[in-house]
Amino acid sequence: MTGEVDNNGARGPMDVRRVMAALPHRYPMLLIDRVVSLVPNQSIHAIKAVSVNEPFFQGHFPTRPIMPGVLIVEAMAQAAGVLAVESMDLADSGKLVYFMSIDGAKFRSPVEPGCLLDLHVEVTQNRGAICKFTGKAMIDGKLVSEANFVAMISDPPKD
């Protein structure tokens, strides 16, 4: 991982190239622009810069662009994926992180172009290949969305 390691084991910052080493996602589905900090097996703080040029804004909604809630949850899940992969030193291994469930998703405020979406995800349970997370998306310190989710780390499907 690029960046520094502090006395608490936190790593960061992490640029988009390192994010892409951890995740298979690419434009237009890569929703993490950088990682501010990561504490292995505990938490991650990632950033999504929400741009008016995002392809989903063409239809959601043309006269009042709002980031779809499902993509906010996806951004939190991608942050969790980076956390899991980095915690297990699996970057560039080909392993994938799959959603298993999403619970308690709440959307409190719209996310519009020009925002920096702060993604805070914590591990709530780790059972090896299956992890539970809680995520919060914030703008300027204000909670805009939250969700709990479960993910599984696995090999990609065979061709």
How far apart (Å, rounded) are the C-alpha atoms in residues 81 and 46? 11
**CA–CA separation, 54 vs 115, rounded Å?**
12
Q: Which amino acid belongs to residue 38? A: L
From CA 129, how far away is CA 107, in angstroms rounded? 29
Candidates 25, 45, 60, 120; catalytic one: 60
Angle at the Cα of 44 (from 38 to 45), degrees rounded to 5? 105
Note if 120 is an active site residue.
no
Question: So which residues are the catalytic ones?
Answer: 60
